[in-house]
Amino acid sequence: MNQKYYIETYGCQMNVYDSELVASLLQKSGYVETDQIHDADAIFLNTCSIREKAEETVQNRLSNFHHLKRKNPKVIIGVLGCMAQNLKDDLLESKPFVDVILGPDSYRKLPEFIHNRKTQMDHLADTRLSKFEVYEDMFPTRKEGVNAWISIMRGCDKFCTFCIVPFTRGRERSRTIESIVHETEQAVREGFIEITLLGQNVNSFRNPDGGDFPDLLEAVAAVPGVQRIRYTSPHPCDIDDKLLNVMLNHDNICNHIHLPLQAGSDRILKRMNRTYTQKEFLNLVDKIRMILPDCSITTDIIVGFPGETEDEFKETLKVVWSVRFDSAFMFKYSPRPGTKAVEFNDHVPEEEKQQRLERLIALQKSMTLIAIQKQIGKSMKVIVEKESKKSRDQWSGRTDGNTWVIFNKSGEKIKDIVDIKITDARGVSLFGERIQMEVTV
């Protein structure tokens, strides 16, 4: 009988994609997936280190695995991903029941490690980072759905001073346009109609054979059957006119840019090593809106970075107020050992961070509401993605701008693209009615 694996994924979409690569490796070596942890012969956690809380969640989860191992000493427990990279020694010491530890550039070793672990007493670990590994020749095993993730580059060379990613994921390296187009074609053949191109710095993509990120977008947009293309996360510094014009010229590239601001104050931006000023960020937003008037803009913001004063925090509020982001992910600064920012000696107290976060969330909530209320009365193309959580009689789907729309079912099926007239906007969602096209004979 086939051995079974179970995998849980934490962190960003890059990890979701990597888990799909791991699934395909395991299936090639004869494993089948189970969603029942107690049935599994091998259990994997694909982990994240971005904030302390992310690591705590995984540590707690791992502690629960102790009893699984006691019940069935043969079960293999593996830690993959960014925490494996970041906390290898700590994990080996504090969780001795972990059998296999593999960093993000070592997944090809997984089948060999599982095999060896069965005959070997000691745990096995490989967290060497590679300058070259992009898993070019591997196809991920995807779960059914509308959207297929495709990782186009790995690593990050930007070294924002708060961020662990350059340490857990290593240096930037890109796949070839050819292999990404090939993977897109395969995803379309498997029934996916939306493609999201992924990278920690997606627009620093450089084709090894020549060509940049806009060239790649054009190539993917030309693949027959691709209804929508998204990408995440770009760095504001690498957004240029060429990229915006490619977005303008292709209907299937979504009118949405995730544009991480991080902070509004120039002094804090400099301390963060973000390489742009508030003015440059605002000018970029103006340019995006000039070239792509309907483009939605979303962001990431950190409050309470070391040394951030009340007035500097207010600069963040000012930018949020003037840009009116469609939505935002907002975080309290979390010190990451090994990064430059932990060495600053003027950390902001926890209560202050919490209070700033709450003020920022309240402001952004009203900005999101303003942004979605502007959509009332418009008609929009929506891809039917899933049943609404609130009612079995309603669908949920996303607009081009990445906002969820809820509408009554009337014979549609998942993946249909329908025209919806927006009638209401509440919280973070839109509500609408299907526009029934009149057929003239």
| Contact (CB, 8 A) for 126 and 81 | no
Contact partner, 159, from ligand SF4, ligand F3S, ligand SAH, none, Cβ < 5-8 Å per class: ligand SF4
**Taking CB under 6 A as the rule, which mask of x and - marks residues 190-219 in contact with ligand F3S?**
----------x-------------------
The Cα diameter of the chain in Å comes to 75
Contact between 204 and ligand SF4 (CB under 6 A)? no
> How does strand 42-47 pair with strand 76-81?
parallel
Task: Out of 69, 88, 95, 169, name the contact with ligand F3S by CB under 6 A.
Answer: 169
| Contact (CB, 8 A) for 381 and 400 | yes
Contact between 261 and ligand SF4 (CB under 6 A)? no
Nearest to 30 by CA among 47, 18, 15, 42: 42
User: Within 13 A of 122's CA, how many CA atoms are on the CB side?
Assistant: 3
Footprint of ligand F3S on residues 44-83 (CB under 6 A)? 48-50, 81-82
Contact between 152 and ligand F3S (CB under 6 A)? no
Contact partner, 82, from ligand SAH, ligand F3S, ligand SF4, none, Cβ < 5-8 Å per class: ligand F3S
- Angstrom distance (rounded) from CA 440 to CA 190: 34
CB of 401 to ligand SF4, least distance (A): 23
Contact between 11 and ligand F3S (CB under 6 A)? yes
Task: Out of 6, 7, 12, 114, name the contact with ligand F3S by CB under 6 A.
Answer: 12
CB of 366 to ligand SAH, least distance (A): 21
CB of 200 to ligand F3S, least distance (A): 6
CB of 240 to ligand SF4, least distance (A): 17
Q: Output the six-digit token pair for 42.
A: 């091998």
Contact between 399 and ligand SAH (CB under 6 A)? no
- Angstrom distance (rounded) from CA 410 to CA 420: 12
Contact between 262 and ligand SAH (CB under 6 A)? yes
- List, in order, residues 6 or more apart from 372 with CB less than 8 Å away: 326, 403, 425, 428, 429, 430
Footprint of ligand SAH on residues 189-248 (CB under 6 A)? 200-201, 233, 235
Contact partner, 302, from ligand F3S, ligand SAH, ligand SF4, none, Cβ < 5-8 Å per class: ligand SAH
Q: Which residues of 217-250 are buried (b: 16+ CB within 10 A; e: fewer)?
A: bbbbbebeebbbbbbbbbbbbebeeebbebbeeb
Q: Which residues of 379-391 are buried (b: 16+ CB within 10 A; e: fewer)?
A: ebebbbbeebeee
Helix (H) or strand (E) holding 280: helix 278-291
Question: Which stretches of the chain bind ligand F3S, using CB under 6 A?
Answer: 11-12, 14-15, 48-50, 81-82, 164-165, 168-169, 200
Question: Which stretches of the chain bind ligand SF4, using CB under 6 A?
Answer: 156, 158-160, 163, 165-166, 200-201, 235
